Amino acid sequence: MNELEFVTQHRRHLHSYPELSLHEFKTTEYIIQFLKSLNIPFERPLETGVIGYLEGNGNHTIAFRADIDALPIFEENDIEYRSQIDNVMHACGHDGHTTALMLFAKRCSELKKENKLPQNVIFIFQPAEETGGGANRLIKAGAFNSYDIEAIFGVHVMPFVDEGTVALRDEEITASATEYRFFLKGLSSHVANKEQGHSAGEALQHILAQVSQIQQFHLNGLKRNIVHMGRFEAGEAINTVPSHGYLEGTIRTYDANDLETVKEQMEKIAASVKLLFNVNCEVKFEEGYPPTYNAVQLRKHVTEALDNARFNIEEKRTPYLFGEDFSFYSQLAPSYFVFVGTRDESKGFVTGLHTSTLNFSEEVLIRIADYYEQLLFGYEKVVSK
């Protein structure tokens, strides 16, 4: 089996049988059986996901990460390997990330047999990137405590970048993702005596208007931020004053000061509701993923590896405004995350991440493995400088 056949077979199997975050049991078993076939030692720190390890000839330990979970999306691609699971789809390319790391693990296993593996390598097949913060769960579970990791690398496919090109930037490359929720409690009354009630509906209108103005009046207009209102509701019956209201949404920033500004304004908005409408209001925040931070000291190594793997490089001026839990790995060691282009208009590979028609060519996965191999073989040169 050549490498194109390898990545095609494994990627299409994974694509056909996707599993949601923290439920990747069959996917995990599939990867475990693969690692066993290569005699790669592995650990399973969580119920799903697996970490493989190979000892090389050098004194340095480098980690490579792939995420393995899928999304609750109904696939609309008309392809032989279409998802066999209703309303679950690999719509973010994690089947590709996993397959590329499997190919790289296979290459490393062969190098190990020939006594040519230059450094120690960790293969992270991580669960729950989409929801659940699988990277953080692994770290908190102590999955990496016994490894002296010096650098961690990862990739993400990107359908808005042409195939053969990699988008990157130093420092922040993806945004923080923080969820917020407003809870309102007023006083109900019959519509005939509406002045006796305290309307959570009226209060909610105020909150919606004020939250929508945060970006306009309180954040630097030259920066890209998102203060998104995702779901809201109020009221119980057609002829009563609403006694309860609710609003939830997400905040995406790549500047910690901007995030604090948004949160402070939301706290002020919540406080104003009681004064203006005599409605109790509480806002709660759930910290999501921090910004993904690319270590500047790894930049030259990354660009040289990409050049050697025959990728074009596209410098991003601003970060992407979606969250990515690869961000947690910077707690362990310097890390670097890049976006590998998969756009090919001639094949119709043009739709975005998290869409029901995402697709890409398997040849890209071989190129990702090439990049990983270049990172591995060039690492000694980095640390010796």
DSSP annotation string for 176-222:
EEEEEEEEEE-B--BGGGGGGSB-HHHHHHHHHHHHTTHHHHHS-TT
- Give residue 383's pLDDT: 63
Contacts of 91 (CB under 8 A, 6+ apart): 70, 71, 73, 75, 353, 354, 355, 356, 358
**Phi and psi dihedrals of 125, rounded to 5?**
-100, 95
Look at the domain 176-287 and name its fold: Alpha-Beta Plaits (3.30.70)
Paired tokens of 139: 């770290």
- Round to whole Å and give the CA distance between 75 and 358: 9
- Give residue 223's pLDDT: 82
- Round to whole Å and give the CA distance between 48 and 128: 9
pLDDT at 339 over 60: yes
Of the listed ranges 14-28, 216-230, 333-347, the one predicted with least confidence: 216-230
Q: How far is CA 25 from CA 17, 53, 68, 146, 286, in A?
A: 11, 20, 10, 25, 27
Q: Which whole number is the average pLDDT over 33-50?
A: 98
Tell me the per-residue pLDDT of 113-147, one tens digit each, with 9 for 90 and over: 999 999 999 999 999 999 989 999 999 999 999 99
Which of residues 239 and 385 earns the better pLDDT score?
A: 239
Give the mean pLDDT of the chain. 96
Q: CATH class for domain 3-174+291-383?
A: alpha beta
Residue type (1 letter), 335? S
Q: Is residue 368 a contact partner of residue 340, using CB atoms and an 8 Å limit?
A: yes
- Round to whole Å and give the CA distance between 51 and 278: 54
Q: What is the largest CA-CA distance in the chain?
A: 85
Q: How far is CA 256 from CA 108, 164, 177, 215, 294, in A?
A: 39, 33, 11, 15, 16
Which residues on neighbouring strands pair with residue 249, listed in sequence order? Answer: 180, 229
Residue type (1 letter), 241? V
How sure is the predictor about 288, in pLDDT bands with cuts at 50, 70 and 90?
Answer: confident
Quote the percentage of the chain above a pLDDT of 90: 94
- Round to whole Å and give the CA distance between 348 and 354: 16
Give SS3 for 60: coil
Q: Is residue 44 a contact partner of residue 50, using CB atoms and an 8 Å limit?
A: yes
DSSP annotation string for 218-277:
HS-TTS--EEEEEEEEE-S-TTB---EEEEEEEEEES-HHHHHHHHHHHHHHHHHHHHHH
- Round to whole Å and give the CA distance between 327 and 108: 25
Do 3-174+291-383 and 176-287 agree at the fold level?
no
Structural domain spans, the chain: 3-174+291-383, 176-287
- Round to whole Å and give the CA distance between 234 and 223: 33
Q: How far is CA 21 from CA 114, 207, 272, in A?
A: 37, 32, 38
